[in-house]
Amino acid sequence: MNELSTEDRIKQAAKALFQEKGYSGTRTRDIAERSGINLALLNYYFRSKQKLFELVMLETIQQFFGTLPQYLNNPETSLDEKIQLLSRRYIDFLKTEPDLPLFILSEIRHNASGLIEKMNLNEVVFKSVLAKQYAEAMGRTEVDTKEIYMLIINPLSLIIFPFVARPMVMALTGLDQNGFDQMMEQRKTLIPIWNRNMLNSDLNTTSSNTTI
């Protein structure tokens, strides 16, 4: 069945524990125990806790951001379809890995600063097909960079934040794990709709009168 090499078993156990307890909260002994191997082997393969962590972290970041460019750069899909796809795929993914965002965000701050810079997401976003399509939709060739931030930060906020704040959201709403998942399922279709409306409302700087 699970014919993983020793090296991979250690990496897998490390990934789980680092995510659960963070870098400093994780003991190498626990990683060894969960891998079903001895502590000495961990150092044999990875030299140190720090090195092991960096490896795991790099893979995790790539797992998280690796798919982003392909969503943003598909010339076959419209601007709106891109947001739909982004919502669906990221929510599906995060339902299987709900602790990933909080892990990445807090460990980047504490133990892996610099990793994000190296990926230069900046270019990835601004040179994307998404950015071009936005400019076209607005009827301009050049678009204020600030508008592009919103275009990407707002959907990501609405997708990721509930996972980051899951314990808080569950306490706030009284939902159990199942109810939480259902809520996120609904958001797959709601977020793109909201996003369209947010973009439209930015067009009419006249902040518009509404029913509520």
Partner DNA sequence: GTCTATATTTAGATAGAC
Partner DNA sequence: GTCTATCTAAATATAGAC
For 132, counting Cβ atoms within 10 Å of its Cβ (0-12 exposed, 13-18 middle, 19+ buried), the class is middle
Q: Which of 54, 80, 81, 97 touches a second copy (CB under 8 A)?
A: 80
Largest CA distance in the chain: 67
Q: Which of 15, 18, 19, 37 touches DNA (CB under 7 A)?
A: 37
Identify whether the C-beta of residue 52 lies closer than 8 Å to the C-beta of residue 46. Answer: yes
Render 45-106 in DSSP notation, one character per residue: HHSSHHHHHHHHHHHHHHHHHTTHHHHHS-TTS-HHHHHHHHHHHHHHHHHHSTTHHHHHHH
x/- site string to a second copy, residues 39 to 78, per CB under 8 A?
----------------------------------------
* Residue 110 binding partner per list a second copy, DNA, none, with a CB distance cut-off of 5 to 8 Å that depends on partner kind: a second copy
* Residue 4 binding partner per list DNA, a second copy, none, with a CB distance cut-off of 5 to 8 Å that depends on partner kind: none
Nearest approach, Cβ of residue 6 and DNA (Å): 4
Among the listed residues 54, 40, 48, 51, the one whose alpha carbon sits nearest the alpha carbon of residue 6 = 40
- Torsion angle, CA of 200/205/210/212, rounded to 10 degrees? 100
Binding of residue 16 to a second copy (CB under 8 A): no
**Binding residues for a second copy (CB under 8 A):** 21-25, 79-80, 99, 102, 105-106, 108-110, 113, 116-117, 119-122, 125, 137, 145-146, 149-150, 152-154, 156-158, 160-162, 164-165, 167-169, 171-175, 183, 186, 189-190, 193-194, 196-203, 207-208, 210-212
